[in-house]
Amino acid sequence: DPARESEAAAKAAAAAQAQKAEARAARISAQTGRSRVTATELHARSEGAGWGFDDDAPEEAAEGAEEDEFGRLSFEQLYEKAKSRELRMSAKQERLGEQL
């Protein structure tokens, strides 16, 4: 059947291309000393092919959140609070505040 032969040829070509890409990645990794792991692989969900770093992101964000009143404020709110208390700010902080 020509359709099955065509499909088999396409699969063989795809496998050969994947093998060639793998060999190229290994060669480049050996030459440069860089890891062959991509950012996509690192951050993909664990149910996919990734290492699952994104799975932990919500918990890490919650753990890292400040619990005091200032930790929950936005930058704009913090800036207004600093201005209202007449806190001294650096020139850079003043410029950032003016850009709001």
Q: Quick one: which of 16, 36, 41 has its CA closest to 26?
A: 36
Cβ atoms 90, 79 nearer than 8 A: no
3-state secondary structure of 30: helix
What is the C-alpha to C-alpha distance for residues 8 and 2, in angstroms, rounded to an integer? 10
Give the DSSP H or E segment for 73. none
pTM score? 0.35
Per-residue pLDDT of the chain (100 residues; tens, 9 = 90+): 788 888 889 999 999 988 888 888 888 888 888 777 766 666 665 555 555 556 666 666 666 655 667 777 787 888 888 888 888 888 888 888 888 7
Domain ranges of the chain: 68-100
